[in-house]
Amino acid sequence: MTVFFRHSKHLLASLALFSVLGMMLAMRPTPTAMERVMTRGELVVMTRPSNTTYYQDQHGYTGMEYELAKGFADSLGVELRMLESDDPSYIRYAIRKGTADMAAAGLVATAERSESLHFTTDYQKVDSLVVRRLDTPRIRGMEDLTGKRVAVAAGSSHAELLVKAQLENPGLEFQEVEEASPEQLLALVEDGQVDYTLIHSNNYSLQRALWPELTADYTAATDMPLAWAFNPKDDQSLYLAAQRYLTQAKANGTTAKLEDRFYGHVEQFNLYAARSFMRHLEDRLPRYEELFRKAEGNSGFDWRLLAALAYQESLWDPGAISPTGVKGLMMLTNDTARQMGISDRTDPAQSILAGADYLRHTHDRIPARIPEPSRTWMALAAYNVGFGHLEDARVLTQSQGGNPDNWQDVKQRLPMLANPAYAGQLRYGNARGGQAVIYVRHIRRYYDLLVWAENSRRRDDTLIALN
């Protein structure tokens, strides 16, 4: 009995200790959303792969949403981890379940979504456009969709918009396509499987040249706010930090600069040029793609950037020649050809490899402190107008209070090189700097189209079958 009693005392003491520990654990406050992020050292963000949100180019991951989210993570002093989904419904579910800390996925902050998600202030506004083939009837109101084949992404803001339109037009029907990307929906319209789809204006502006037989001449909704989404059941610590960051980003011009970076080079649409590009993309580019890929290995530049440069120079025509005597796919001068050690400027292999090497040589002369992508855009400008003239523009930029290491600032001064009023400030003389700005803008446009055409593999994987 004595032994049993002694063991019982120890058992009671242990139970008391565990009880105290349990009470202490129960009293410990639940970590806030911000504390979870800081403890983890990582901000987890749900996004949607798209050329308006998150994609990969020669410099790595980029996109409007990615750059903003990266800036937010940097402001918190943590790493950024992106999770991808094409399904808007799953993105919202993942936020509510805590799979990610927030969503930066080009989500429109609608009244319906605000019932289950906590949205920040908007960082961009977009319109909802109705897309059709050029050979189909133009619509002038949502009632014109009645009796037509309409498809939109399941769970999208476009689906919500059509549900509202059905209240006034009961005969309007539409199909929601699960996990459909904008490219897949555009392909459905182009191939005649549906008559109409809806797309956001920012996405359409970037992709329009890939779909020259489509048009968006009716706006179903305007000024739709794009915002970040948080779990409304969480405390507001991380949400409020995001609010402060976005408010400051709008106030200090960060969002405006990002919009200019991603959309500022999208010139007015030209149907003839778009049709020519798509025709050349299918007929000419395949002949030289392997050469561009080889040049990527030699020079370190994305082969699609080199292809975009060549398209701007020659429309991928190895026999191209200008009135000034430059020749070939990369339109090299005699001096450049000799400098790069080639004998035949009209030979595609020699031209592509020499052009890539010359761009690398020019890029290496740009100060290494200049961050990408500004350094590459400046190298392209120098490829066109000359390195000395680019330096003159950078000096002008600095003297006028701009940032000589930022392409957005330098491109504003390049046209001044042709102005006699600035002749006394130019070490290398007058030049057609405005032409270099247009040159870079076109190359960026072609490059974006090539990146997205390959990423979406538009002629194959974008095609989906409707039920």
- Determine the distance from the C-alpha atom of residue 157 to the mean position of all C-alpha atoms in its chain, rounded to a whole number: 20
Query: pLDDT tens, 132-171?
Result: 999 999 999 999 999 999 999 998 999 999 999 999 999 9
Tokens of 45: 């963000």
Active site residue 313: yes
Give mean pLDDT, residues 315-333.
90
What's the pLDDT score for residue 382?
95
pLDDT reading at 10 higher than 50: yes
**Low-confidence winner among 49-63, 355-369, 428-442 (lowest mean pLDDT):** 49-63
362: amino acid identity, one letter? T
Rounded to an integer, the average pLDDT of 4-19 is: 53
Mean pLDDT for 309-327 is 90
Q: Residue 274: which residues within 8 A CB-CB, separation 6 or more?
A: 208, 209, 210, 212
Peptide bond into 373 cis (omega under 30): yes
Least confident of 25-29, 225-229, 357-361, 390-394: 25-29
Mean pLDDT of 296-310: 95
What is the CB-side half-sphere exposure of residue 341 using CA atoms within 13 A?
A: 3
**How does pLDDT run across 33-44, given as a tens digit for each residue?**
999 999 999 999
Mean pLDDT computed over 354-369: 95
- Cβ neighbours for 343, distance < 8 A, ≥ 6 positions apart: 337, 350
Residue 143 contacts residue 166 (beta carbons within 8 Å): no
Report the distance separating Cα 127 and Cα 223, nearest Å.
Answer: 6
Structural domains in the chain, CATH included, are 33-123+228-260 (3.40.190.10), 125-222 (3.40.190.10), 274-454 (1.10.530.10)
| Geometric angle at alpha carbon 132, from 88 and 163, rounded to 5° | 45
Answer yes or no: are the C-beta atoms of 105 and 46 closer than 8 Å. yes
Q: Is the pLDDT reported for residue 2 higher than 50?
A: no
- Looking at residue 210, the DSSP 8-state letter turns out to be G
Check whether 461 has a pLDDT greater than 70. no
Tokens 């929906």, residue?
A: 185
Query: Which pLDDT score, from 0 to 100, does residue 449 have?
Result: 87
Q: How confident is the model at residue 467, as a pLDDT?
A: 58
314/58: higher pLDDT: 314
Beta carbons of 44 and 235 less than 8 angstroms apart? no
Residue 459 pLDDT greater than 50, yes or no:
no
Q: What is the pLDDT at residue 125?
A: 94
Please identify which of the residues 213, 313, 372, 454 carries the catalytic annotation.
313
Residue 233 has φ and ψ, to the nearest 5°, of: -85, -15
Task: Please check the confidence at residue 456 and state whether its pLDDT lies above 80.
Answer: no
The pTM of the full predicted model, rounded to 2 decimals, is 0.74
Decide if pLDDT at 49 tops 70: yes
pLDDT digits (tens, 9 = 90+) for 238-291: 999 999 999 999 999 999 989 888 887 776 667 778 888 889 999 999 999 999
Average pLDDT of 295-314?
95
Rounded mean pLDDT of the chain? 88
For residues 170-179, give the mean pLDDT: 92
If you average pLDDT over residues 344-353, what whole number do you get?
A: 94
Tokens in use for 145? 């969709």
Per-residue pLDDT of 124-133, as tens digits, reads 999 999 999 9
The predicted model gives 216-239 an average pLDDT of 95
